[in-house]
Structure 1
Amino acid sequence: MHYLNTQNIFYKNILIKDNLKNSIIFTKDNNIKKNILIQSCLNNHIVEIKTLGDFIDAIKNNLENYIVDYNIFFTKLPNNWEIETKNSITISKNQEIEIDEIIKKLSEFGYNFGDFLEDFSYKKLGDTLHIKNKSLNKTIIISFFGSVVEDIYLENGINSKKLEQITFGNQKVINFYDLNEDFNTEILDLFGEKHIILDNIDILPGVEKLEKIKNKTSFDILKNPNLNQTSLEVKDLFLNNIEDFIKILKGSKKISIYTKNIKNIKNFLEYNNLDALVFETNLNILKSFETPKEIYICDDNLFKIFTKKRLKKSLSQNIDLLLSIKQDDFVVHIDHGVGVFKGIIKKEVGKDIKEYLEIDYLNNDKLFVPITETSRVSKYIGKENPKLTSLSTKEWTKKLEKVSKDVQIVAMELLEIYAKRKLQKGFSFVYNREKMREFEHSFEYVYTDGQINAIDEIMIDMEKDFPMERVLVGDVGFGKTEVAFNAIYNAFLNKKQSILISPLVVLSYEHYQKAIERFSAFPIQIELLTRFQTSSEAKNILKKLKSGDIDLIIGTHRLLSEKIEYKDLGLLIIDEEHKFGVNDKEKIKKLKQNIDLLSMSATPIPRSLNMALSGIKNISILPTPPENRKGVETFVSKFDENIIFQACKKEFDSGGQVFFIHNRVSTIENMEKILQNIFKDKKIIITHGQLNGDELENRILSFKQKKYDILLSSTVIENGIDFPNVNTIIINDAYKFGVSQIHQLRGRVGRKDKLGTCYLLYKGDFLTEDRAKRLQTLVEYSYLGAGFELSMRDLELRGGGDILGLNQSGLTSEVGISVYLKMLEEKMQELKQSLETGKEIEKKQQTLIDLNIPAFLDDNFFENDLDKLEFYKEIETISDLDDLENLINDFTSFNKNIPKESENLFNLLKIKLESPKYNIKHIKREGVLYKIIFEKNIKVEDLKKFLDLDKKVLFIVEDLTSIKSPCRNFNGDNDFLNYLLKIMFFTKKVKIKSINLKKVN
């Protein structure tokens, strides 16, 4: 026997594959799937044994490797005679047996007939019987000659193998725990010479039971003669940057790389003339490690050193990107107003093809926006069905003038708060890179790039000498808690205490359980303080807080009491701040003075957006879900008892529980009777807001502990409590809820890697147009990450209103929230820079390029026009050449044979980003001349700097802001573009032809 107690599950599986053939692994139930996936990644088939039938299939067919729930380790099994006579059928070559007799036995054992073979199914084709067996992972084909078995084949679709015999076990024996208690054969006695592997010795149920089998085996894995001793000297691997990666690759050890970005890694190795074994895998649970002779590098390191940081965008740009535009959506162009987006079209301009966004305006007017200017178009969020703008009047210009005046007033109010905040003094945390990397590496999964960026932003804030005030926004299940844990660990390393506060006891208890598990390998002292602690327990906790013996305290509003003393408090984390009452918020204001504050929210409340724009609060957005996270299927249906029965039965059959949301307390007991009549054998518990706090939370905890099958509840469960066993939610009278509220409720299911199901029920035979639209919105936005957009959509359905928490007199609805946010953000930046530098900042516009050059991305690179538009909007927000180069490299690494049109697009973007260095405002072709127009404030030396770039082409200076060159100097617009690229990016210090420059007044 061997026990594996290393924490690196990838290393364990490599060890098993390379050294312990013919094994049976006993492990925790939640590790079984991970081990199977990793062994599959290593091209090693391993069979999960769940039932007695699985066990029979495996042991009788001499399969090499099995994996079993460790609880079965001491289960008594039937002896060989019991197995062979009652629970299995063995078929041998040349055996005389009727084909129908085998089918009858298979049916008794739980196999089903099917035209398309699935696990534990069969079909008859002439004189052959095809059987699919999950344990063997192959199809068994038995051919007959009359009633005699002629041949037995094992087939996997590529090749086949002949067998002398095959055994099928009884799959109707549900599990080991249903076996007769009189059985007395131990599992070890039936496995013969197999290696018995215990994955984590600490999970075994009692030392006294180990003594019973101690004489049969050795507990020391190092004593196995098949194992190389040095191979067990393993340590986790941390790579900080590409230089570390190259250094390891140039070393003497054997390198194996497991990554999903195999193309990028191979290109990198080839370009740098480096060598390593590279394997493709989509698993995000692999962790890098190093032994004395080998190094295994996985995406936990590669993702961080190769994935480019999220492009630094302003908040309004981030919001804009989160609000995806679809055909027939209302959009707003910053210069032309509100229209309807009709799609992306190609138009012939001269001899070239260009792409445009087509937007319809009032009186059937159309606007075609070049795809290089998509950043000027955003989704309209404001009042429902806004009036379209006329392109032939000055209506839009007048609206912008009104909004501009309003923005000035709002910005001045916010600036005053910003100035006060800058005067506050806080603790400057020291960032311990090595320790923080160790903590990150201990995370079970690979961080999303959103999490990486949020963690980076928080760490930078904590290093500053004034208090952090940041909002962390992410949809349900997008990993906000893990980001917060990074901040807590950073505070711990700086010997500072942290508070994690939630609006509900149940939510606090959940945070406490997660924190205990997450920090189990680190010496952080964690306590929970809620009303459920006894007075003596609470007194002891308060004493330890004061003495500094507690590093992290988790709880509810009780932690806001002024009577609680902390030794050295440094960080306050608030989950769902908007759920706290007015009095609690006042206490939070007092508590957060001079300490760092991190607020977490599934959807940003309007006031938070406003404060973030001003710089008073910073905001981090988690835009993407963790890998393998499934969404929630959403269905709309008339209230129907049969649909309710079928929906719940499916969940109950898989061992799960169900939420049923009924938001009218006065009739909730009647609904209980209806449900109890449908499910007579199921236990139902009711929760709603009119129960006292203790009773409410006791009931929720009872359901969480699986004492009940159905939770019939009002909306009190919409907070971020995790119910991993619930994957179906039914919402009654769904049209009465706000769309973002239903999204929050829907987020209670479909957690981790399971697909959730949501049923939206309505009464009556038909829905009004308004109700139908509300429910249609919920189906439309059922994808992961829709929470942000839904909160904005909810504002639209409710008529906009006071979107930012200040009085804007309805002006946000006139121009849309996106345009308002952009204008407010620009004004705040202008005022802040003026305040800090004492100078007025001149606003620079993007450089315009009007050349007849085909520049677009091929449709084949995208699933649809919406994906294409989002990519265009992404690249249009880039403001840094390095970011653009990174994006181009990423794009080209996944798309071979980039067409010339795409190359042109990227080149145009390069010119647009580089032009502001030379104060270039406009590049265009005008008749037989190419013209370059400069900003009005350009100085003589600035113009000379551009002209100094090259002497081969004669530019004629019209005045200080305009130069021109005849088209005959170039071989078309593309040649002129390439010329600009050459002189801007490959600058040579040369003199120009004699041109008389003089300052123009």
Structure 2
Amino acid sequence: DTFSKRLSELPIRVEMLCRFTSPSRARKIKQDIAAGKVDIAIGTHMLLSDTVQFKDLGLLIIDEEQWFGVRHKEKLKSLRAEVDVLTMTATPIPRTLYFSISGLRDLSIIETPPKSRKPVFTQIVPWNMDLFRRAIYAELERNGQVFFIHNRVETIYGIAEVLRRAMPDVRFAVAHGQMRERELERIVYDFRRGEYDVLVCTAIIESGTDMPRVNTIIVDRADKFGLAQLYQLRGRVGRSDVQAYAYFVVPPYKSVSKNAKKRLAALLEYSDLGSGYNLALKDLEIRGAGNLLGKEQSGFVAAVGLDLYSKMLAEAVAELKGQKPPIFEPIPFSIDFDAFIPMDYVEDTEDRIYFYQRLFTADREEKVERIGAELSDRFGRMPEPVQNLINFLRARILATRAGFQSVSFRKRWIVLYFSPERLSLARLNEALADFSPPLDFALSPTPAIKLPRATSLERDFANLLRLLRRVLEKE
């Protein structure tokens, strides 16, 4: 509807394909797409089916790619080789952030909101029917509508009934993804037309929903949602010049997990318009200590490891640019500390990405040290997470060049794994015979040097870097 209205005075034909499009209408649209009679085709993953053939596709715009399944992503991958691609997201996922940091994708950030748009007023609240009643009636008094999010299909009708009893004069409707398509379409359409006041629904409305009259959202059990989901849900309201309100309902605060508390705090902190990218970076910090270099990663990164993932990305970037794959391949390095660039140290998002790119691609200790000196010169004394990041990268480069297989920071030891074929025991004994603190050598199941942890992380790095330099001197 939005595209059609804005392009109505131009000779451009806009069509839509989704599960709500009737079969006969869908067949006609597909025929016209194949004949080149449709200029802009907007739709769900239905556009990626084999039955849709474009005559001369020139631009592919993907909104929130993370919600597509594996099969559809494979189709998108094949399309990328042939056409220009623009991917849009309000909250980049870690994979997307890493793409930008590694140089695989160019990144542009839109931080300027539409004219007259206001930040959404956000509150974290306990379950409180009196509050819900006040919020809903206040919205209805200004001729608005309300989303009430309850993300469990098994109990959604019970919740709707509780709300109906508390507000018998309010018109409630229920919507969720397990409904029959025509029934779901009818309810959403009737709600949009104003037949209902409150839509009690699951998170199916978190993307692709544009209803300017809906300016209050209540999210039940907000502690169960991810940070990106909460941001997307909040973005369903406040889509006009009317002040919008978001209430995130949580159980007694002492029963909320530590990470959930961090997510909710971040949501309150980053309530300004256009703050999705900063929120995504914050999400990285919450997901695992160490931000981009954290102990915990999800999805593909967790499956193959961040270092192998970094190598694969670097090789892909080189291949796309027609260059030889980089020779320097950093070894896996498991850490148990924070190593990142805080937003309150380097406030500008593009600057942070710029420094991450340079640090991640540095293949010499001197390069990392120069970047660290530049950070100190431009932004002042480095906070502990940045100093950790610099030391981590220095150690990883030296450990890789010394011939170790991997390094792991553990509770009592820093363990350096090696292969006797690459690093002989004779060379290690010669280099480390009188090393202090005394080292422990383990020969099975995997040969390793165990360096005792010191009283501080700073001391740990000093010992580790000294050890690695001594091994390198005996090459």
In structure 2, do the counterparts of structure 1 residues 656 and 553 end up closer, same or farther at CA, with 3 Å as the change threshold? same
Trace 1:62-141 onto structure 2 (pairs within 5 A): none
- 2:183 pairs, out of 695, 711, 728, with 695
1:655 deviation in Å?
Answer: 0.4
1:870 equivalent among 327, 342, 347: 347
SS in 2 for 1:796: helix
1:520 has 2:8 as partner: yes
Q: Does 1:806 align with 2:301?
A: yes
Q: Name the aligned partner's letter for residue 159 of structure 2.
A: M
Query: Which residue of structure 1 aligns with residue 126 of structure 2?
Result: 638
For 1:572 and 1:830, the matched residues in 2 are separated by: 21
Q: In the aligned structure 2, how far is the partner of 1:566 from the partner of 1:527? A: 13
How far did residue 616 of structure 1 move?
4.1
CA positional deviation for 1:527: 1.9
Q: Secondary structure at the match of 1:569?
A: coil
Match of 1:682 among 170, 180, 186: 170
Task: Note the 1:494-893 alignment, pairs <5 A.
Answer: 513-764=1-252, 766-768=254-256, 770=258, 771-799=260-288, 800=294, 801-802=296-297, 805-806=300-301, 836=323, 870=347
**Are the structure 2 counterparts of residues 594 and 783 from structure 1 closer, same or farther at C-alpha, using a change threshold of 3 Å?**
same
**Residues 547/806 of structure 1: CA separation in 2 closer, same or farther (3 Å cut):** same
Q: Which amino acid aligns with 2:147?
A: F
Whether contact under 8 Å (1:648, 1:658) holds in the other structure is yes
Counterpart CA distance in 1 for 2:172 and 2:121 is 24
* Structure 1 residue 708: Cα displacement: 0.6
The residue identity in structure 2 corresponding to 1:721 is T
Q: Report the structure, 1 or 2, having the larger helix content.
A: 2
1:595 and 1:587 mapped to 2: Cα distance?
Answer: 12
Contact 2:33/2:55 (CA < 8 Å) preserved in 1?
yes
Is the contact made by 2:101 and 2:353 (CA closer than 8 Å) also made in structure 1?
Answer: no
The match for 1:29 is: none
On the 8 A contact 1:529/1:538 being kept in 2, the answer is yes
Cα deviation for residue 837 of structure 1 reads 9.2
Aligned partners of 2:315 and 2:325 also within 8 Å: no
Q: Is the 8 A contact 1:639 1:762 kept in 2?
A: yes
Alignment check: 8 A CA contact 1:613 1:824 kept: no
Whole-Å separation in 2 of the counterparts to 1:833 and 1:575: 24
Q: Secondary structure at the match of 1:618?
A: coil
- Give the 3 Å change call, closer, same or farther, for CA 838–716 of structure 1 in structure 2: closer
Q: 1:828 to 1:719 in 2, by over 3 A?
A: same
Summarize deviations over 1:240-271 as a string: whole Å, max 9, x none: xxxxxxxxxxxxxxxxxxxxxxxxxxxxxxxx
Counterpart code for 1:870: E
The aligned amino acid for 1:784 is L
> C-alpha distance in 2, partners of 1:589/1:776?
36
Check the 8 A contact 1:730/1:760 in 2, yes or no.
Answer: yes
More strand per residue? 1
Counterpart amino acid of residue 347 in structure 2: E
How many Å separate the matches in 2 of 1:590 and 1:824?
Answer: 22
* Alpha-carbon distance in 2 for matches of 1:838, 1:714: 46
Q: Which runs of 5+ in 1 are unaligned?
A: 1-512, 813-819, 842-865, 879-907, 910-1001
Distance (whole Å) between structure 2 residues aligned to residue 584 and residue 630 of structure 1 = 36
Bigger radius of gyration: 1
Listed as ranges, the matches of 1:276-315 within 5 Å are none
CA contact (8 A) 1:631 1:756 kept: yes
User: Which stretches in structure 2 are left out of the alignment for 5+ residues?
Assistant: 289-293, 329-342, 356-376, 379-475
Aligned 8 A contact 2:104 2:317 in 1? no
Structure 1 letter corresponding to 2:92: P
Per-residue Cα deviation, 1:552-584 (whole angstroms, up to 9, x for no partner): 122222222323333322222222222122222
Q: What secondary structure, in the 3-state scheme, does the structure 1 residue paired with 2:52 have?
A: coil
SS of corresponding position for 1:629: coil
Task: Please name the residue that 1:11 is paired with.
Answer: none
Query: Structure 1 residue 717: deviation in Å?
Result: 0.9
- Deviation of 1:679 after TM superposition, in Å, equals 1.4
**Structure 1: distance between partners of 2:43 and 2:304:** 40
* One-letter code aligned to 2:89: S
Paired with 1:541 and 1:833, the residues of 2 have a C-alpha distance of 35
User: Which secondary structure does the structure 2 equivalent of 1:870 belong to?
Assistant: coil
Question: Do 2:120 and 2:243's aligned partners in 1 also have CA atoms closer than 8 Å?
Answer: yes
Q: How many residues align?
A: 336
C-alpha contact 1:572 1:596 (8 A) present in aligned 2: yes
- Relative distance call for 1:772 and 1:543 in structure 2 (3 A) is closer
1:57-456 superposed matches below 5 A: none
C-alpha displacement at 1:542, in angstroms? 2.9
**Partner of 2:88: helix, strand, or coil?**
strand
- Distance change in 2, residues 1:754/1:826 (3 Å): same
CA offset digits 1:183-229 (Å, max 9, x no partner):
xxxxxxxxxxxxxxxxxxxxxxxxxxxxxxxxxxxxxxxxxxxxxxx
* 1:388-440: CA deviation from partner (whole Å, max 9, x where unpaired): xxxxxxxxxxxxxxxxxxxxxxxxxxxxxxxxxxxxxxxxxxxxxxxxxxxxx
